[in-house]
Amino acid sequence: MKKQNHIPHLRSIGDFYQQLQIGEPQGEDFSMMRIEEQPKTKRLEMPLFRCDFYRLVFIRSKGVEWLLPEKQFESTENCIYFSYPGKLESWHSGEKIHGYLLCFTQDFFHANHLRISEFPFFSLGKSRLLYLQEVEAAELAKQQEEILEEISHPQHDTKDMLAALLWRYLLSLKRLYTKSDDLIPESQRNDLLIYQKFREALDEYFAALASNKQDKHPNVSAIADQILLNPSYLNTVVKRISGKTASVLIQEKTILEAKSYLMHTDLHITEIAFQLGFDNVSYFNRLFKKWTTLSPSAFKKAHLQ
């Protein structure tokens, strides 16, 4: 079987803009835009990808779902999504979303003597979504508009001003995030930790499939063994946290992987099915159509660039 990488690794902000088909960034170390001003050609779905920079997505309206290794999030009005370099991500969105997209690199932080370690939402294992009250969202939107104004009318010290505005924005987020994190009951923290281990183990299993270190499609028992838990107990915790069974989440992850292979490689449908650990290609086709309403070949045709 011809080996192909099905998960894009977007090295620069420009690569990210190009992959999403949203135009050109203002710079390769710092860029920001209003989401509602993105062109109609923009992607509405990114099955799986990684970036080499930090990203803050401030959603003012409903319509975005993130499918991450450790958890799934559905956006409400007024929420912020956090991403850091190397994070495995997936999302899909509606046609018209309002909010702000802010991207910046580690180099931008270092060049301005800022400390990314100050901010818990960029740490591994922390929640990726912050829900806001309207008054909080309005204040953050005001700060975002100040950043956009500075980018739109650059002066000789614009880089310094952007660094100061970003630092203030991140500090404001830190206050809100810390307050929100403190509200999680102690009784729920252990369940969240187990759920995170399940999602990470599932991600690792599919990575092993991609590198031919596994050849069987995962099931709940296999993932439970990987994290040394009883399958029934694992399923109970997963359902308690996510509202879905572990089997359903495994199927969702399977479809994400399949979509990514279909969009980013030229592997045949049969090759993709075997790469994902299916012995029966017909079953793979039926499962894919059940989740997407399209056959794998129809999905590939619809997403050819």
224-244 tens-digit pLDDT: 999 999 999 999 999 998 889
Q: 264 vs 109, 153, 214, 305, CA distance in Å? A: 32, 38, 21, 10
CATH number at residue 80: 2.60.120.280
Share of the chain above pLDDT 70, in %: 94
CATH number at residue 290: 1.10.10.60
DSSP 63-132: -EEEE-SS-EEE--SSEEEEE-TT--EEEEE-S---EEEEEE-HHHHHHTT--GGG-GGGSTTS-SEEE-
What integer pLDDT is reported at residue 242 of this predicted model? 85
What integer pLDDT is reported at residue 188 of this predicted model? 77
State which of 128, 163, 182 marks the end of a domain.
Answer: 182
Both 165 and 194 in one domain: the answer is: no
How many CB atoms lie under 10 A from the CB of residue 79?
20
What integer pLDDT is reported at residue 124 of this predicted model? 66
Confidence at 292, pLDDT banded by 50, 70, 90: very high
Taking the C-alpha atoms of residue 283 and residue 281, their distance in angstroms, rounded to an integer, is: 5
Q: Which region among 1-15, 29-43, 202-216, 272-286 has the lowest average model confidence (pLDDT)?
A: 1-15
- Does residue 78 carry a pLDDT above 50? yes
Closest CA to 246 of 217, 269, 223, 280: 223
- Does residue 69 carry a pLDDT above 70? no
**Spatial contact of 41 and 17, defined as CB atoms under 8 Å apart:** no
More confident residue, 12 or 71: 12
Query: How many domains, in total, are found in the chain?
Result: 2
Q: What is the mean pLDDT of residues 31-57?
A: 92
How many CB atoms lie under 10 A from the CB of residue 124?
10
What integer pLDDT is reported at residue 117 of this predicted model? 84
Burial of 241 (0-12, 13-18, 19+ CB in 10 A): middle
Q: What is the mean pLDDT of residues 122-139?
A: 85
What contacts 212, CB < 8 A, 6 or more positions away? Answer: none
State which of 164, 182, 200 marks the end of a domain.
Answer: 182
Both 148 and 203 in one domain: the answer is: no
Q: What is the mean pLDDT of residues 39-57?
A: 91
Fill in the amino acid letter for 261: Y
Mean per-residue pLDDT over the chain, rounded = 89
Confidence at 179, pLDDT banded by 50, 70, 90: confident
Both 15 and 132 in one domain: the answer is: yes
State which of 182, 202, 219 marks the end of a domain.
Answer: 182
More confident residue, 288 or 116: 288
Confirm whether pTM is higher than 0.85: no
What integer pLDDT is reported at residue 2 of this predicted model? 47
H/E run at residue 45: strand 45-51
Residues 85-117: tens digit of each pLDDT: 988 888 888 878 999 999 999 999 888 777 888
What integer pLDDT is reported at residue 1 of this predicted model? 45
